[in-house]
Amino acid sequence: MSANELLRVPNAVIVEGKYDKNRLSGIIDAIILTTNGFSIFNEKQKEKALRRLAAERPVIVLTDSDSAGMLIRNRITSVLGKEKVIHLYTPKIEGKERRKIRPSKEGVLGVEGIDNEILYKLFEPFSSDAEAAGKAPFIDRAKLYSDGLFGGKNSASLRKKLLLRLDLPDSISAGALIDILNLTYSENEYEAALKAVKEETR
């Protein structure tokens, strides 16, 4: 696998903010959640989704290499349990990100400022294809479409109701929903939830 290819990572990955998420989206193909500081633990739906993901396989945490990042790591570990968390660390490199006017409080680069090569090497040991992940996908965009959850007049509304029934954030995109369903739900669980939602909307 070359450094120009996205690494498929079956574990969910937790980072601090949207710029970190955008950065990793060019390196890995994975479910990437942001904490937005500690706010993720004040949003019950997001916390439930995080617990569900961690129940399937340990989540990977990659925060900035500063004291604030360490506090977030500790909080995540205390909520999920240390056996459910894999910690990855970037080297402490002095500097600032291009978008910022001044460096961070501790003067080190955050995840968004780390070189692609370093990030690639961090995640390479966790990369896997669908077969190696041990669970074959059962749903794709065509299936979502045929089930009325994508591309139809009322698909957004139906998808939102399904997300709420599954205790997932209702802002999740169709693409992210496919990833989460294939990774953490069985086909039977999905079909049962969809049937219940459709019966409620009749």
pLDDT digits (tens, 9 = 90+) for 167-192: 777 777 788 788 778 877 889 999 99
Long-range contacts of 3-10 (CB under 8 A, 24+ apart): 3/116, 3/117, 3/120, 7/120, 7/123, 7/124, 7/126, 7/127, 8/127, 8/128, 8/129, 8/130, 9/60, 9/123, 9/126, 9/127, 9/128, 10/57, 10/126, 10/128, 10/132, 10/133, 10/183
Read off the pLDDT of each residue in 143-160 and give the average, rounded to a whole number: 91
The reported pLDDT for the residue numbered 1 is 45
Give the residue carrying structure tokens 């600032």: 96
Mention the CATH class of domain 7-126.
alpha beta
Domain ranges in the chain? Answer: 7-126, 141-200
Asked if the model's pLDDT at residue 23 lies above 50, the reply is yes
**Residues sharing a CB contact under 8 Å with residue 29, sequence separation 6 or more, in sequence order:** 6, 7, 8, 9
Read off the pLDDT of each residue in 59-64 and give the average, rounded to a whole number: 90
The reported pLDDT for the residue numbered 166 is 83
In angstroms, the CA 171 to CA 164 distance is 10
The reported pLDDT for the residue numbered 142 is 93
- pTM exceeding 0.85: no
The reported pLDDT for the residue numbered 193 is 94
The reported pLDDT for the residue numbered 2 is 47
Name the least confident of 77-81, 109-113, 149-153, 185-189: 109-113
Asked if the model's pLDDT at residue 67 lies above 70, the reply is yes
In angstroms, the CA 68 to CA 58 distance is 22
The reported pLDDT for the residue numbered 100 is 62
